[in-house]
Chain A
Amino acid sequence: AQSVTQPDIHITVSEGASLELRCNYSYGATPYLFWYVQSPGQGLQLLLKYFSGDTLVQGIKGFEAEFKRSQSSFNLRKPSVHWSDAAEYFCAVRPGYNKLIFGAGTRLAVHP
């Protein structure tokens, strides 16, 4: 069965530091991959997505993610975190043209 694992439930970083949020997926073929961000009490905003082609994808707000087939990973990165980046981040896979399967989420806290 398809699944998504986000190993880190909670991460704290200092403002200006780099960030990497981990995501591993389980799927027989290459799925469509997504990263979403959710602020408290809000819906989800798409940060970036990977369908095919270049394995390093750029998103909004300075985020990027790299698809690594050999590791079944799609880690999210940002070189310098801002206090406004504090939120919940969800990795998701979409097997084919179907429903999204979400990971458990990683809550990011940013220290000034």
Chain B
Amino acid sequence: GAVVSQHPSWVICKSGTSVKIECRSLDFQATTMFWYRQFPKQSLMLMATSNEGSKATYEQGVEKDKFLINHASLTLSTLTVTSAHPEDSSFYICSARDGRGSGEQYFGPGTRLTVT
């Protein structure tokens, strides 16, 4: 089956620093990847839609200058949290849409970010 990986699986950083999270589709090409944020015991909230070779589309209320998304290839998208603050601590999950067939989304295992 289709596999999506995320790296790192968890990260702790100091307030004011930037953190990069990678999302890779391992055995398929993903023209579109999605970035979600999940607070404890809550649902997934879509942050942005990332299309290969073009600018990401951000959901309302998501600061695009704070959450930088790059989708440079058909198998890799990155999310960079810039100047992180404790309120950015969360579980970040990516998904990749298989461009073939029904375009099903496959989810990565998530990255837990803790900002101290």
List A residues at the B interface (Cβ < 8 Å). Answer: 32, 36, 41-46, 49, 51, 90, 97, 99-100, 102-105, 107
> For residue B97, which residue of chain A has the nearest CB?
A97
- Give Cα A99 to B103, complex, Å: 11
Interface 1/0s, chain B 93-116, versus A by CB < 8 A? Answer: 101000000111111111010000
8 Å CB contact of B46 from A49, A99, A107: A99
Determine whether the beta carbon of B109 is less than 8 Å from that of A43: yes
> For residue A10, which residue of chain B has the nearest CB?
B41
Q: A51-B102, A90-B43, A104-B42 are in contact. Are A99 and B49 (CB under 8 A)?
A: yes
Residue B44 is within 8 A (CB to CB) of chain A in the complex: yes
Determine whether the beta carbon of A102 is less than 8 Å from that of B41: no
- Give Cα A107 to B103, complex, Å: 28
Chain A contacts of B44 at CB under 8 A?
44, 90, 102
**What would 14 more interface pairs be, CB under 8 Å, given A97-B103, A100-B105, A103-B43?**
A41-B91, A42-B110, A43-B4, A43-B109, A43-B110, A44-B44, A44-B93, A45-B107, A46-B106, A49-B104, A99-B49, A102-B44, A104-B43, A107-B41
Chain B contacts of A105 at CB under 8 A?
42-43
Determine whether the beta carbon of A44 is less than 8 Å from that of B46: no
Q: Which of B54-107 contact A (CB under 8 A)?
A: 91, 93, 95, 102-107
- Using C-beta atoms within 8 Å of the partner chain, give the interface range for chain B: 20 to 34
- Give Cα A45 to B4, complex, Å: 11
Chain A contacts of B103 at CB under 8 A?
97
Q: What are the nearest 9 A-B pairs in CB distance?
A: A43-B109, A44-B107, A43-B107, A102-B43, A43-B110, A104-B43, A102-B44, A105-B43, A43-B108
Show 16 A/B contacts (Cβ-Cβ < 8 Å), sorted by A: A36-B107, A41-B91, A41-B110, A42-B109, A43-B4, A43-B109, A44-B44, A44-B93, A44-B107, A49-B104, A90-B44, A99-B49, A100-B105, A102-B43, A104-B43, A107-B41
